[in-house]
């Protein structure tokens, strides 16, 4: 779902009507001169209505007037087990956190071992020259 405006907002907020929680994305300039944010909506329920708001970094709690309602039409078989698109997924959040921890751990290990390996190699070459 795309939110766009001629105003140069820094951040776009997407809110589902009737809920306090919103998604936020930074605005990016588009080809036609507008500023936009493309929200990945994922699974949705037929008849849900969304609204876009814009804000600036200097005043992130001051939002623009809401956009016109953006009704969502869903085709196919509805499933009650689908997660809400505006609620953060607990499993996705944990998986993302776990991947970040693993990446940082690997980086720390590599950057800890690499200097010792280089020092050992340098010392070995120095001994060979003597």
pTM, whole model, 2 decimals? 0.53
What confidence score (pLDDT) does residue 61 get? 84
Q: Kindly state the percentage of the chain with pLDDT values over 70.
A: 78
How many CB atoms lie under 10 A from the CB of residue 9? Answer: 24
Q: Parallel, antiparallel, or unpaired for β 22-26 and 11-16?
A: antiparallel
pLDDT tens, position by position, 67-113? 988 888 776 665 554 455 545 544 455 666 777 788 889 889 988 99
What confidence score (pLDDT) does residue 95 get? 67
What is the CATH superfamily name and number for domain 2-71? Immunoglobulins (2.60.40.10)
CB 30 within 8 A of CB 37: no
b/e burial code for range 97-122 (CB count within 10 A of at least 16 → b): eeeeeeeeeeeeeeeeeeeeeeeeee
What confidence score (pLDDT) does residue 104 get? 86
| DSSP state string for 54-96 | EEBTTBTT-PPPPPSPEE----S---TTSPPTTSPPHHHHHHH
pLDDT tens, position by position, 16-40? 888 877 888 888 888 888 888 988 8
What confidence score (pLDDT) does residue 56 get? 92
CB 86 within 8 A of CB 21: yes
pLDDT tens, position by position, 2-16? 888 888 899 999 988
């Amino acid at each position: 779902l795309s939110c766009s405006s001629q105003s140069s907002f820094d951040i776009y907020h997407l809110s589902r009507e009737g809920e306090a929680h919103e998604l936020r994305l930074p605005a990016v300039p588009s080809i036609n001169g507008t500023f936009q944010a493309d929200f990945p909506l994922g699974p949705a329920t037929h008849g849900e209505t969304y609204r876009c708001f814009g804000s600036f970094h200097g005043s992130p709690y001051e939002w623009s007037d809401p956009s016109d309602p953006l009704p969502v039409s869903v085709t196919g078989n509805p499933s009650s087990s689908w997660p809400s698109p505006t609620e953060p997924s607990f499993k996705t959040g944990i998986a993302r956190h776990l991947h970040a921890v693993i990446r940082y751990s690997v980086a720390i290990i590599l950057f800890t071992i690499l200097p010792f390996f280089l020092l050992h190699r340098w010392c070995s070459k120095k001994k060979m020259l003597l």
